[in-house]
Amino acid sequence: MLTQVGPRERRKERLDRGLKVRTEGIYALSSGKEALYLLAPRLTLILGLLVLPLLMPNLYWQRVICIMGVFALLSLAFDFLANYVGLICLGGALFMGVGGYIAGILNSLFGMPLVVTIPAATVTGAVFSTVLLSPCFPLRGIYFAIVTLMYPLAASRIIEALDIFGGTEGMAGLDTLPNIWFASYSIIPVLLVSLFALRRLVTEDIGLVLRGLKDNDQAAKASGISITRYKAYSTFIASAIGCFSGAYLAHLYGWAGISLFALDFSILPIAASVIGGMGTLVGPVLGAFILIPLTELLRELGTLRIVLYSLLLAGFIVFKPEGLMTYAQRKYHQFEHWVEV
Amino acid sequence: MAEEVLLQVRNATKSFGGVRAVVDVSLSLSEGEILGIIGPNGSGKTTLVNLITGFVKPDSGEVLFRGKRITGLQPHKIANLGITRTFQIMRPYHSLSAFKNLIVPLYSPRVHQTTGGKLGDRDAVAIDILEEIGFERDAYVPYKIASSLPLGYLKRLEVARCIAMRPEIIICDEIFSGLSMAEIATMVPLLEKLQMQGTTIMMIEHRLRELFRLVNRVIVMNFGEKLAEGIPEEVMEKPDVREAYLGTEVDNVRD
């Protein structure tokens, strides 16, 4: 610092705890205690999520857990695309709609059981969404966001206007998930597996290529990397996660309608990522687990909850723009102490 | 020197709106040589690089690599043929550590083909390349996040990213600019070594003294046109080159 400082000036010094070596993701472990230091947060998350449905007082809140799972998956997909591939994707609603409608059509028109429709909707929905979004792979920044927002709006209007797939009524009477335990204990493992798989992916070599695309697509081109291809791969992964959520929700409600294309599914993941911490993958999941119950708790306040909701978001953006998870990670991995300057 | 012609640019022209960035430029690059391209700012040097590497499509003219037309190919395809480039404005993957920056080129189809898929651990290869190019081994520098590296290292990282591609041609766009004499002194032997290993190099440079130590041949550009071509000392004696480079009052300039 160049400016003259007073005698009592202090600043905060941050030191990495000994474990973290050289660079992100490399740790030196020499004892069980140190292994526990790394495992503890992970185990807390895994066990916490697995125990969560058991703690819920009634069916209503158990259902909320399922909805939280859906939004957590969407937020995870959003964070992956936005912060590891550089695609600002507001396609949550598109993925939900595509996944939900495919599952609905397969179930109601072809009579397939939900063990078939959900995986089928995940894969075909992901292919379909990737193809829809492929024209904007060469574009950067906000253009991708605009197109991803356009599709769900267009889709719901088309379904309405042409009166296809049940029109505004939607397709009711789909098979529902057998019971609430099946519902919650099917989405939570999927969430955990997706989370840890994505975390692994972004540190693998192919993940580094994706992060390279985000940092500098020109340099990636000069390094012989086809940016279209890798954007397609990552969009496929994200839309598979989204389409699974859509198909799951359709079967949770036993209904697939145009509200699956609601923009909540696109916007809420952004809010969850801001609160949880952009680029941490686990942060947005936690963000969704905070926001959704909050929405439910504030439901009694009626429209006023939107105000509180926005105040909370604004508060986070102003006071903790890094998000909860980034903050927590820093506190966990670094010592902080005050030093006299 | 009658080596095989590796790269040929034929009558390339490119305009941006009313600005004629490159006008009817032809050049050829022989295998194993170091070619220098010089010229005042805005004379179309970088556009020429963009034309060769596919980042910009020419309005007319063509680019041939080993006799095959590569005009209009996408940049990543051209890179996979073995024509790599550095960027004048450095483009590191700023959120990745220095050695992880090299994982991206090491992941390219070209590296997969040339090594027959037996590259081994990419991290280890990346560290080796960084050491070769002057990053201290086992020090902290290769593990630093690229955005925190000083300029000299970033310039070297640009070249390292090219080397990682196992290229036939490296096009260096002003890799000396902004470097200290000492830093350049470490870069020059590196480029000489690359040339000895059979890599063809095309250098765009403003630092003429250092450039002329390296190159066999130089092309001068001015206002998008090729002004002169030949051995550095001879070319710089030409009146129109001196005029383009130094201004008109040549007589008053003493070396």
- B250 has pLDDT over 50: no
Specify if A208 maps to a domain.
Answer: yes
Closest CA of chain A from B94, distance in Å? 6
Give the pLDDT of residue B80: 95
Query: Which of the four pLDDT bands, split at 50, 70 and 90, describes residue B255?
Result: very low
- pLDDT band at residue B1, thresholds of 50, 70 and 90? very low
Q: Give chain B positions within 8 Å (CB) of A224.
A: 76-77, 79-80, 105, 108-111, 165
Give the HSE-up count for residue A27: Cα atoms under 13 Å, Cβ half-sphere. 14
B32 pLDDT higher than 60: yes
Instruction: Please tell me the distance from the alpha carbon of residue B63 to that of residue A301, in angstroms, as a whole number.
Output: 68
State the pLDDT at residue A17. Answer: 66
How does residue B235 score in pLDDT terms, banded at 50, 70 and 90? confident
CATH topology of domain B5-91+166-252: Rossmann fold (3.40.50)
Residue of A nearest to B91 (CA): A219
pLDDT tens digit sequence for B50-90:
999 999 999 999 999 999 999 989 999 999 999 999 998 88
Select the residue from A137, A209, A218, A223 to test the B interface by mutation, using most B Cβ atoms within 10 A.
A223
Q: Give the per-residue pLDDT at A8.
A: 65
Q: Does residue A170 belong to any structural domain of this protein?
A: yes
Domain membership flag for residue A18: no
Residue A179 lies in a domain: yes
State how far the Cα of A136 lies from the Cα of A131, in Å rounded to an integer: 10
Cβ contacts of B101 on chain A, cutoff 8 Å: 212
- Kindly tell me if the per-residue pLDDT of B253 is higher than 50: no
Please give the average pLDDT of every successive group of 10 residues along chain A, which has 341 residues: 57 69 60 80 92 90 94 96 92 94 93 92 96 87 86 91 84 87 93 95 93 92 93 96 96 91 90 91 94 86 79 86 87 78 68
Interface of B with A (CB under 8 A): 53, 55, 74-77, 79-80, 84-85, 87, 91-97, 100-101, 103-111, 122, 140, 143-145, 161, 164-165
- Is residue A154 a part of any domain in this protein? yes
Contact A215 B92 (CB under 8 A): yes
Q: pTM (2 decimals)?
A: 0.88
Which tens digits make up the pLDDT trace of B103-123?
999 999 999 998 888 888 898
Q: A117 with A171: CB under 8 angstroms?
A: no
The pLDDT value recorded for residue B233 is 87
List chain B domain ranges. Answer: 5-91+166-252
Report in angstroms the alpha-carbon separations of B190 from B161, B198, B214: 14, 13, 11
Instruction: Please list every residue in chain B whose beta carbon sits closer than 8 Å to the beta carbon of residue A211.
Output: 93, 95-96
Domains: count for chain A: 1
Q: Which one of A24, A211, A224 has the shortest CB-CB distance to B79? A: A224
User: Under a CB-based contact definition with an 8 Å cutoff, are residues A11 and A338 in contact?
Assistant: yes
Instruction: Please tell me which residue of chain B has the smallest CA distance to A216.
Output: B93
CA–CA min distance A238, chain B (Å): 21
Please name which of B152, B147, B144 lies closest in space to residue B127, comparing C-alpha atoms: B144
Instruction: Return the higher-pLDDT residue of B253 and B81.
Output: B81
For residues A215 and A60, give the distance between their C-alpha atoms in angstroms, rounded to a whole number.
Answer: 43
pLDDT in tens, A186-220: 999 999 999 999 999 998 999 999 999 999 989 99
Contact B170, B133 (CB under 8 A): no
Q: What pLDDT shows up at residue A335? A: 75
Q: Which residues of B touch A219 (CB under 8 A)?
A: 87, 91-93, 104, 161
A:B CB pairs within 8 Å = 93
The C-alpha of B74 sits at a distance from chain A's nearest C-alpha, in angstroms, of 8
Contacts of B169 (CB under 8 A, 6+ apart): B6, B7, B29, B82, B83, B84, B199, B200, B201, B202
Cβ within 8 Å, pair B122-A223: no
Q: Can you give the residue range of the structural domain that contains A233? A: 60-263
Q: What is the mean pLDDT of residues B124-149?
A: 84
Amino acid B34: pLDDT: 93
Q: What is the mean pLDDT of residues B164-168?
A: 93
- Say yes or no for a CB contact (<8 Å) between B55 and A218: yes
In this predicted model, what pLDDT tens digit does every residue of B190-225 receive, in sequence order? 899 999 999 999 999 988 888 888 998 999 999 999
Q: Which two tokens stand for residue A30?
A: 């020499």
Contact A22 B165 (CB under 8 A): no
In-domain check, residue A309? no
Residues of A in contact with B77 (CB under 8 A): 224
Q: Do the domain assignments include residue A153?
A: yes
Is residue A238 assigned to a domain?
yes
pLDDT of residue A28: 65
Q: How far is CA B213 from CA A214, B158, B191, B209, B218, in A?
A: 38, 21, 11, 7, 12
pLDDT tens digits along A245-258: 999 999 999 999 99
Q: What is the 3-state secondary structure (H, E, C) of chain B?
A: CCCCEEEEEEEEEEEECCEEEEEEEEEEEECCCEEEEECCCCCCHHHHHHHHHCCCCCCEEEEEECCEECCCCCHHHHHHHCEEECCCCCCCCCCCEHHHHCHHHHCCHHHHHHCCCCCCCHHHHHHHHHHHCCCCCCCCHHHCEHHHCCHHHHHHHHHHHHHHCCCCEEEEECCCCCCCHHHHHHHHHHHHHHHHCCCEEEEECCCHHHHHHHCCEEEEEECCEEEEEECHHHHHHCHHHHHHHHCCCHHHCCC
What percent of chain B is modeled with pLDDT above 90?
51
What's the mean pLDDT in B233-244? 85
Q: pLDDT tens-digit profile of B35-58?
A: 999 988 888 999 999 999 999 999
Contact B79 A223 (CB under 8 A): yes
What local confidence, expressed as pLDDT, does residue B178 receive? 85
Of B229 and A167, more confident: B229
* B92 neighbors B146 (Cβ within 8 angstroms): yes
